[in-house]
Structure 1
């Protein structure tokens, strides 16, 4: 893997992780068509996700700080934050179970480009449906345990390449009657423990990385971090303007194009 390839893939990750178009699907397709691309295991992909998750930490630093200190205080606001923290932890349980159970199975699908393209079609359909039928008014104070479990399952299933993590989790909450910005914030915060766990599981791949390629890995993660910050800001605006269906059409177009190229 060259430095240029790493930065390019980092930009792809930074854009596709937060915009609901499946970063895993775009990475799988991009890596398939990059000549001479190789990586040990999925460590590079995990580092790219780590870069975008650092963007989440920076963008939502105030919310994260409030969640961290919420168990130590007893104001009404901190009680709300503590409840939100509990829902995030609850949602992480089904995600963890699905991820640990099917990790190797889903990782083996990254080379199945027709399947990845088909899952992009599924993502596009989900986005179109949720935008068509969304009518949410519930904010964070009205999120429930059922919301958390369902969105945790959606995040766990999004380990399949081509299924957008942000798209599936946000769509799940929108269809449950949660308003857009709340759905997006919960989706982004929920990704942190999942990506942290995936990073720990992939640490063993470090020993397979040649020392000379480490700068490329770090450059890719840095690119994902920088572009990710802009992508979060963009998606929050898109959510407010109710334009998710446009991303659904994009997923359909890319999925159909890749399927045609692989006939």
Structure 2
């Protein structure tokens, strides 16, 4: 398989799975496994960050009106809806930021072909989605305690195989938050973290890569456009309480991977 085709497939996988509750990090590891890609996590870090940057941009495009309203509220320099939402986002970032800073090296090792771990974490994701689909519908908004708990869910979702969107949306819904508001908060809360991660890697100079500029561009474009489509679709699915179908998918992928690993 050519390098450009591999970059295209990785971009599509990232764009779809960043928003659909099936774990983008887990699927990227599974995709590399299927390609028999033996490169270390550090070698593909630039591609990984590029793909995440693409989905962050896709999020900003889909929620451009919401982001515009938040910035307009912030520029008023007063306590209002946008100010409160921004602070809730900041609070939700704290757990993941602490985990990312304190356990950076350990997390890197978890992304070096830990396929069995990915399979078991996909099962956990599936269970969360089942529980969320059965939760009662409400019109509650995110409060300060909810922001911390959702942030903890996002921190746990750093593990490959735990879906970030699945974990945060499921946690939100189980806390009694309105489904559409849960999806909105879940998708917007990840943007600052991704941008922060990119800035950290730039400062640390960790960008070693075996990928060319063309490959990175192809991956970025693929992740961006598939990300937009997946984000819009996911919002509709959350509102309709149809997450259980993704739970079936997570279970199926996990069992297939475990079976293959056992045989080999």
Pairwise TM-score range, normalised by the shorter structure: over 0.9
Q: Which residue of 2 aligns with 1:251?
A: 250
**Gaps in structure 2 of 5+ consecutive residues:** none
Give the superposition deviation at 1:158.
Answer: 0.8
Q: Which residue of 2 aligns with 1:261?
A: 260
Q: Which residue of 1 aligns with 2:48?
A: 45
Give 3-state SS (helix, strand or coil) of 2:110's partner: coil
Q: Which residue of 2 aligns with 1:100?
A: 101
Give the superposition deviation at 1:260.
Answer: 0.5
Give the superposition deviation at 1:254.
Answer: 0.3
Q: 1:165 to 1:36 in 2, by over 3 A?
A: closer
Distance (whole Å) between structure 1 residues aligned to residue 21 and residue 64 of structure 2: 22
Distance (whole Å) between structure 2 residues aligned to residue 51 and residue 29 of structure 1: 20
- The count of corresponding residues between Structure 1 and Structure 2 is 256
Residue pairs, 1:1-263, within 5 angstroms:
2-36=3-37, 38=39, 40-73=43-76, 79-110=80-111, 111-132=113-134, 134-139=135-140, 142-203=141-202, 204-206=205-207, 208-209=208-209, 213-263=212-262
Distance (whole Å) between structure 2 residues aligned to residue 209 and residue 143 of structure 1: 40
Kept after mapping to 1: 8 A contact 2:168/2:186: yes
Distance (whole Å) between structure 1 residues aligned to residue 66 and residue 89 of structure 2: 13
Distance (whole Å) between structure 2 residues aligned to residue 158 and residue 74 of structure 1: 34
Question: What root-mean-square deviation, in Å, do the aligned CA atoms of Structure 1 and Structure 2 show?
Answer: 1.7
Kept after mapping to 2: 8 A contact 1:123/1:251: yes
Kept after mapping to 1: 8 A contact 2:14/2:52: yes
**Gaps in structure 1 of 5+ consecutive residues:** none
Give the superposition deviation at 1:219.
Answer: 1.0
Give 3-state SS (helix, strand or coil) of 2:80's partner: helix
Kept after mapping to 2: 8 A contact 1:41/1:205: no
What's the TM-score once normalised by structure 2's chain length? Answer: 0.92
Kept after mapping to 1: 8 A contact 2:47/2:209: no
